[in-house]
Structure 1
Amino acid sequence: MSEGLKMTSLLVDSQYFPPIECYKTLINVDILKIERYEHYQKVSFRNRCYIAGPNGRILLSVPLVKGKNQRTIMKDVKISDAENWQALHWKTLVSAYRRSPWFEYFEEDLQSLYEQKFEYLLDWNQACFEWVNKRIGFEKAAIFTDQYQTTEELVNVTDARDRFTPPGDQDEQAGITNYTQVFQERVGFLRNLSILDLLFCEGKRSIEVLKNA
């Protein structure tokens, strides 16, 4: 890198198969940091993602030991296995994307991921993050934080914690629209779904779709 160019660093919260909007931001940074010392925040992408279904968005939510109202440090948040949520999520993904152009190419590997057991949400999210990064060709390694810092305390780091939030009023403008979704003719284009939606629809072209959005 030439002396005149400045390295960009971004801090984000840990997310379950992050939304496409997040990835559009990630591909333009040099250094990626993932927060692990914040308190868990409910109603966020930390334990949920959205995919496309025949009737609209489908929510996939990872159950937690103390439920969504806990105030636990993120690195200590535990997954609840009281219900077989991984089997349910996998069944939902198969049902939603089995007719997508690229699902069959990733099906076996992704099923293996959903058969692995994880005690902590942070570890599960990171496994999902690394899995999809390898498939789309996103090569930037993520660095975990070693302490919590407020926005004011961060030095030369853009704070994107909680910048990406579940669908709401902002969703009409969020995300990208330059690819074709499985149920688009039926329910219209659904913005800012999980990166899995882009992967199953565009495969190895996903990174280029993000860059050209």
Structure 2
Amino acid sequence: MAIVAADLFYFPNLEFFTAIYGFEEIALFPKAYFRRNSYINRTEIRGANKVQRLSIPIQGRRPAIPQEELMINFHEKWQLDHFRTIQSAYGKAPFFEHYFPYFQGFLENPPESLWNLNKGVLTVCLKLLGLSAKVAEYPTLHDFRPEKDLRGQISSNETWQKRGLYSPEPYFQLFGSDFEPNLSILDLLFCMGPEAKMIIESSAKKTLNNR
């Protein structure tokens, strides 16, 4: 079985899905420590005037804490903000009405654990993309050797261009004439619908050819 070790993100970007494309299992590690510059609690979408970042506030933010112990801070009304921002950005997208109900529950009634929220989101995204990779959790990496190890690679510390994990395949976007690469998977699903998988596949092939 082809296994890729990966981090767990909030509505992962296209770089993530390009990098895991073609693998049969995505190995996740809930006991791995939280890294401040990861996308575990943030994602980026395209608004009418700019790229917008959506962030989930978390409790007790400190470096030395396992990701499975990260709890969402519900004192801040982030769910309503995310709901309205996504709806404003993509309400007129061709496939918004079809795909948004799959994610609506995550915003209206999210679990207390950020890990459980992200895992649920990833599972739904894989299903909507038609990707058959299963999601599995492991305590450490000592039990097996993955074909690819993405842990710690996809972060906001550097631009995606420097990592060589993603070669953008342009597609229709709702705003602007210039294509904005590597946004949240929400952008691709809402704009392209059933063709989203084809875009990911094409991006993965271009990435391999550019190496």
TM-score by length of 1: 0.86
Checking the alignment, whether the CA contact within 8 Å between 1:63 and 1:79 is kept in structure 2 is yes
Q: Quick one: which of 170, 177, 190 aligns to 1:178?
A: 170
Q: Are 2:118 and 1:128 aligned?
A: no
Aligned equivalents of 2:135, 2:75: Cα separation in 1: 31
Q: State the percentage of identical aligned residues.
A: 25
Residue 154 (structure 1) shift: 5.4
Aligned to 1:78: 71
The alignment's C-alpha RMSD in Å is: 2.0
Q: Quick one: which of 13, 26, 36 aligns to 1:19?
A: 13
Query: Between Structure 1 and Structure 2, how many residues are aligned?
Result: 201
Checking the alignment, whether the CA contact within 8 Å between 2:24 and 2:132 is kept in structure 1 is no
Aligned equivalents of 2:179, 2:157: Cα separation in 1: 14
Residue 125 (structure 1) shift: 0.2
Residue 8 (structure 1) shift: 2.1
Residue 55 (structure 1) shift: 2.2
Checking the alignment, whether the CA contact within 8 Å between 2:169 and 2:202 is kept in structure 1 is no
Q: Residue type matched to 2:100 in 1?
A: E
Aligned equivalents of 2:199, 2:87: Cα separation in 1: 23
Q: 1:167 and 1:59, CA in 2 relative to 1: closer, same or farther beyond 3 A?
A: farther
Aligned equivalents of 2:91, 2:11: Cα separation in 1: 18
Q: Residue type matched to 1:76 in 2?
A: E
Q: Deviations over 1:70-91 (max 9, x none)?
A: 4211111111101121111111
Q: Quick one: which of 96, 104, 127 aligns to 1:103?
A: 96
Aligned to 1:163: 153
Q: Which runs of 5+ in 1 are unaligned?
A: 1-6
Residue 133 (structure 1) shift: 1.8
Aligned to 2:209: none
Q: Which runs of 5+ in 2 are unaligned?
A: 204-211
